[in-house]
Amino acid sequence: MGVKHLWDILESCKKTLPLDHLQNKKLCVDLSCWLVQFTTASRTPACMKEKVYLKNLFHRLRALIALNCSVIFVTDGAIPSIKLAAYRRRLGSQVLAEKASDITKPLPPVPSLRRNKGSEFSCMMKEAKMLGMALGIPSLDGIEEAEAQCASLNSASLCDGCFTSDSDVFLFGARTVYRDIILDSGYVVCYEMVDIERKLGLGRNSLISLALLLGSDYSNGVHGFGTETACRFVKSVGDDSVLDQMAFQGVAAIRKKRGKDRTDKDQFTEDSENDICIKSTNEESGHLSSASQFAEVIDAYLNPKCHSPDSEAVQRACTDLPFLRSELQQLCEMFFGWSPEKTDEYILPKIAERDLRRYGNLRCTSSALGVDSIPVPCPVSAIVKPRKVQGEEYYEVSWLNIEGSKVSSVPAALIQSACPEKIAEFISKKDEEKHNKHKRKPKPRKQSNKAPISEVDKQLQELLVTIKESEKNPLKDISDHLQQKYVKDIMEPDFFDLCTPSPPPRASKVAKCKIPIDQSVNLIEIIDSESDVSPG
C-alpha cells in the first residue's frame, strides 16, 4: 500500500519516458509488486492455471534484457513487527469499536513474523525466481521489506532505479522509482526525488511526516488530516525540523503549530479544544497520538532492516549470472508447454540485441581511450533490409555465431551507434546492385527479336506486293489458258458427221466445259477416214 494518497500528491512529478530510457541501467525489482500486478490483471482460474502471470513476467524480462538492463529481483522477508502492530490496531478498531477503553491500552510488543513459504503466492514467487535465474537474473531475499531493500541499493548507487508500486519506497531513501512499465505502448512511469524536492518542496523527512499524518503500512495516521491540510502543515514547519518536532512532541507539535497560526484568542481556544478532540478520537480509533508512537514509525522508515550494501548477500546479487539456455527451455516447457524452438524464437533475438548493445558500449569506451581495435567481433553479420516497426526505423539483420537465431529486427539507431560500417556496407551493396542492373546486357532472346527487324519489314513488304497483285487479277493464269484453247478451237475447222447417229446419253452428268474422250477419238477417226476417201 505505502503511504495513503502519496501517489496523488506526487502526480505533478510523474514522467512518462520511452523504454530506451532504461537501456544499460541496473535495476532492482520489487518482485511481489510485479506479481500482484499480473495476478490482478488475470484473476480467472484459467489464467492462474495457464500461468499467465509468469508469461507476462517472461515477456517483460525479455524487453529489459534486449535493452541490456541488469536486473535484480528483491523479495520480501519477515513482516516487520510495527506492521503487525498497525494491522492489530486496525483490526481492534473494527472489532472492538464499542470498547474504547480496551483499545487505548498499549499493545504488547510483537516480533517480526516469518512469511508462509507454503502459500500460493510464495509458490508463485518461487517460480518467478526460477525463471529469472535461467535468464541470468539474481535474487536478493530481503530481511523485511523488499521496497526498503530496493531503496537501500538505490541510495547506495548500486542500482539506477527501483521498480515498485509501494509509495513508501521514497521514505526508505529511494531516489529514482519506476512505478509501472507498459510494453505495448513502449514507456515507463518514472518519479525522481529531485523533482519532488524541486517542484513540491518535499524532502524525505517531509514524506515521512505525511505518512504519520495520513497513514501508511506502519500507522493509521492522525484523524482529521487530509492531503491538503497535511501538506500545508509539513511545508510550514520545514523539512529539516518537522521530524524532530513530531518525534518529541507528537500531536502537541501539531497543536502548537496551529496555535501559532491563530492570532485570535477565541479561535486559539476553539482550535485547542478541537485538537483535544482529535487526540481523543485518535486514541479511540487506533490512530497515532503520542510522541513515542511517532518516534517508532520514524525510526522504522529511517533505519529499516536491510542487507548492508557491503554485505555478502548484496555483493552476490550484484554479480551477473550466465544465461542458462537449456534450463530455460525446460522451464518454459514445464510452465507454458513451449517447445525448445519456440523458447529460442522468443529469447535468442533479445540476447543477440543485448550483445549488440554491449558491443556498442565497448566500442564507445575503446574509442574514448584511443583504442581502435576491439577484441570482440560484431554480433551482426549483415543487414538484410530496412523495416518499419510501429512507425520507427528498424533494420532486419542476420546474426553471427548465434545458434537458432538467424534474423531479427533491431532499431536503426542502435545499428548506427554500435556498427555504422554495417549500414555503409548495406548501402554500398544496394548501390552496386542498382548499377549492375543498369549496365546489364539484354538477354539473348530479346536481342534476337530486335536484330532482324529490317529484314522482317522487307519480307513483309514483298509479301504485301504479292498479295496485292494476286488480289488485283486472281484468274489471270486461268483466263490465259482458256484464251489459248479458244483460239486453237477457232483456228481449227469443225467437221460434223451427219450420217452417224448420236450416241445414247449417259446416266452421269458431264460438265459443259469438258469434252468426252470417246467423242474426241471418234471425231479424229472420222476426219482421218474422210481425208483418205477425198481425191488427190
pLDDT score at 129:
97
What gap in Å lies between CA 154 and CA 316, rounded to an integer?
A: 16
Query: 272-306: per-residue pLDDT in tens?
Result: 434 433 443 344 444 445 677 888 999 999 999 99
Q: Is the pLDDT of residue 454 over 80?
A: no
Enumerate the β-bridge partners of residue 70.
Answer: 26
Give the closest residue to 41 by CA, choosing from 26, 63, 59: 59
Burial of 321 (0-12, 13-18, 19+ CB in 10 A): middle
Least confident of 111-115, 192-196, 340-344, 347-351: 111-115
pLDDT in tens, 56-87: 999 999 999 999 999 999 999 998 988 887 76
User: What distances in angstroms separate CA 74 from CA 36, 308, 359, one per listed residue?
Assistant: 14, 14, 28
Q: List pLDDT tens digits, range 303-323.
A: 999 999 999 999 999 998 999
Q: Give the residue, 276 or 348, on which the prediction is more confident.
A: 348
Please report the pLDDT score of residue 455 as a whole number.
75
Rounded to 5°, the CA angle 300-302-306 comes to: 75
Task: Please state which CATH class domain 6-313 belongs to.
Answer: alpha beta
Domain boundaries, the chain: 6-313, 339-439, 454-526
pLDDT for the residue numbered 448: 52
Specify whether the CB–CB gap between 208 and 41 falls below 8 A.
no
- At residue 61, the pLDDT reads 98
How big is the chain, counted in residues? 536
> What average pLDDT score do residues 17-46 get?
92
Looking at every residue in the chain, the average pLDDT score rounds to 80
Residue 447 pLDDT: 52
Q: From CA 332, how far away is CA 54, in angstroms rounded?
A: 10
Query: What one-letter code names the amino acid at 204?
Result: R
CA angle (339 as vertex; 336, 343 as ends), nearest 5 = 75
CA 398 to chain centre: 19
150's grid cell: 530496493
Neighbours of 256 (CB within 10 A): 14
Mean pLDDT for the stretch of residues 194-215: 95
Over range 452-462, report the average pLDDT: 74
Residue predicted with more confidence, 514 or 253: 253
Confidence of residue 264 (pLDDT cuts 50, 70, 90): very low
Per-residue pLDDT reduced to its tens digit, 205-250: 999 999 999 999 898 888 888 999 999 999 998 889 899 888 877 6
Distance CA 500, CA 1 (A): 146
- The per-residue pLDDT for range 167-176, each reduced to its tens digit, is 999 999 999 9
Grid coordinates belonging to 518: 470417246
- pLDDT confidence of residue 260: 55
Mean pLDDT of the 32-37 span? 94
- Please give the pLDDT value at position 536: 45
pLDDT at 11 over 50: yes
Nine cell digits for residue 375: 577484441
Residue 92 — pLDDT band, cuts 50, 70, 90?
A: low
32, 75 Cβ separation under 8 angstroms: yes
Instruction: Give pLDDT, residue 401.
Output: 77
Q: 339-439 domain in CATH 3.40.47.10?
A: no
Which is more confident, 463 or 522? 463
Q: What are phi and psi of 249, to 5 degrees?
A: -115, -20
Residue-level pLDDT at 275: 42
Q: Does pLDDT of 156 surpass 70?
A: yes
Predicted confidence (pLDDT) per residue in 101-152, tens digit:
343 344 455 566 677 777 888 999 999 999 999 999 999 999 999 999 999 9
CA distance 474 to 467: 10
Nearby residues of 290 by Cβ (< 8 Å), 6 or more positions away: 250, 251
CA 522 to centroid of chain Cα atoms: 113
Grid coordinates 477457232 are at which residue? 490
Residues pairing with 17 in the sheet: 188
Residue 182, pLDDT score: 94
Q: Which residues, at least 6 apart from 232, have a Cβ–Cβ distance to it below 8 Å?
A: none
pLDDT for 508 beyond 80: no
H and E: helices and strands count for the chain: 24, 10
Separation between Cα atoms, residue 465 and residue 482, nearest integer Å = 26
In a 3-state reduction of DSSP, which class is residue 226?
A: coil
pLDDT at 266: 43
